[in-house]
Every structure is written in C-alpha cells, then in structure tokens.
C-alpha cells in the first residue's frame, strides 16, 4: 500500500466532522477517530508496517501510551521484533502498582508510540514519567500528527516527533 493509499484509507475510516473537544482542551470541527483504525486489524497492520520504517536505529523498547497507543505499539512490535511497554497515565494502585507494564524501560532507549498528536501534552507527561523510571526517551512516533503544536512542544522537552501521516496528508487524500 502506498503512502497516499494508506492516508486515503485512514481518512475514509476515521475522519469525522462536527464539534469535538480534544484531550488538549481545544475544540475542533474535524476529528480522526483512532479507535476506528485501531480496531481494523488489516488497516492497523498496514499502519504498523509503515511506522516500522520510521523507528530510529538504536531503539530498544517501544512504549505505547494508554489507551490509543496500545494497539498501535502491539502491531508495531510485531513488525520490528522489539519488546513493548504499555504506559499508563498513572500507576495503578493494586497488583504490580506499575506505571509501565511489559518490557523493562530503565536504562534502555525507549521510543514513545502514540496514535494521534495534537499538542503533544500526553507524550510530554508520559515521557517525563518514563525518564523518571530511567528510560532514555529521545523520540516519539505517532500515526497522525494534527500539526497543532505537538512537534514544537516535544522539541522543547528534547523529544523529536516522527509521524507516519500528518493532518495535511489526510486532507490531501480525501476524495472531497
């Protein structure tokens, strides 16, 4: 599947219009519903295949952010062979009481994986948590960069944002 074919497919499956409040608190009239592409196993596999080529050399662990990053990181792990960590927004208060489940992150180069990035706020928070656990976080990889300040916010924290697609890529792929 070509890059433009993938963009068209994701747009067709996940693009919604209306009034939406984003995690950042911003409002938007267009929304990319990550659950629609994350729930389609064939499309998710194509997404992961495209993202695998963007994983920086030297990456030791893929860290998917709760909740939308979890299916993406799992699919990406299948294509890269890299172990995965599943990062909660807050450590659970029972069982293992861990913030990051799965692969160990301490002392390892960790790539944060997210579905859609707007302001980059959750990546900033989760990367700080991962760094506090001893992870070396230099990059984050997302399926869609909404191009609304995430790249700059992450750069200010020493994190390079890599994206499979941008909102502009998806708009160009739209049949309208």
Q: What is the mean pLDDT of residues 56-74?
A: 96
Q: Is 119 annotated as a binding residue?
A: yes
Is the confidence at residue 175, as pLDDT, over 80?
A: no
Q: Is 18 annotated as a binding residue?
A: no
Is the confidence at residue 93, as pLDDT, over 90?
A: no
Q: Is 59 annotated as a binding residue?
A: no
Q: What is the mean pLDDT of residues 14-42?
A: 90
Give the model's pLDDT for residue 176: 67
Enter the CATH code of domain 3-173. Answer: 3.40.50.2020
Q: Is 157 annotated as a binding residue?
A: no
Q: Is 19 annotated as a binding residue?
A: no
Largest CA-CA distance found in the chain, in angstroms, rounded:
50
Mean pLDDT of the chain: 94
Q: Is 134 annotated as a binding residue?
A: no
The answer to pTM > 0.75 is yes
In sequence order, the 6+-apart residues with CB closer than 8 A to the CB of 67 are none
Q: Is 29 annotated as a binding residue?
A: no
Q: Is 64 annotated as a binding residue?
A: no
Q: What is the mean pLDDT of residues 94-102?
A: 88
Is the confidence at residue 155, as pLDDT, over 90?
A: yes
Q: Is 158 annotated as a binding residue?
A: no
Q: Is 160 annotated as a binding residue?
A: no
In percent, how much of the chain has pLDDT > 90?
84
Q: What is the mean pLDDT of residues 62-82?
A: 96
Q: What is the pLDDT of residues 114-151, one digit of tens each?
A: 999 999 999 999 999 999 999 999 999 999 999 999 99
How many Cβ atoms from other residues are within 10 Å of residue 15's Cβ? 18
Q: Is 127 annotated as a binding residue?
A: no
d(CA 86, CA 63): 6
Give the model's pLDDT for residue 53: 98
Q: Is 112 annotated as a binding residue?
A: no
Give the model's pLDDT for residue 152: 97
Q: Is 89 annotated as a binding residue?
A: yes
- Scanning the structure block, which residue is given the tokens 């939308």? 68
Tell me the domain boundaries of the chain. Answer: 3-173
Q: Is 117 annotated as a binding residue?
A: yes
């Amino acid at each position: 599947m070509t890059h433009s074919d993938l963009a068209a497919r994701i747009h067709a499956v996940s693009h919604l219009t209306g009034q939406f409040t984003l995690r950042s608190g911003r409002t938007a009239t267009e929304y990319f519903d990550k659950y629609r592409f994350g729930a389609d196993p064939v499309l998710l596999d194509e997404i992961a295949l495209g993202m695998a080529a963007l994983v920086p050399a030297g990456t030791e662990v893929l860290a998917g952010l709760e909740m939308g990053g979890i299916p993406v990181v799992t699919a990406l792990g299948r294509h890269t062979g890299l172990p995965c960590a599943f990062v909660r927004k807050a450590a659970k208060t029972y069982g293992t009481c861990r913030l990051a489940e799965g692969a160990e992150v301490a002392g390892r180069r960790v790539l944060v994986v997210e579905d859609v990035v707007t302001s980059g706020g959750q990546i900033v928070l989760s990367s700080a948590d991962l760094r506090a656990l001893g992870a070396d976080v230099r990059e984050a990889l997302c399926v869609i960069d909404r191009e609304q300040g995430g790249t700059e916010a992450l750069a200010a924290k020493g994190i390079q944002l890599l994206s499979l697609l941008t909102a502009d890529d998806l708009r160009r792929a739209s049949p309208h």
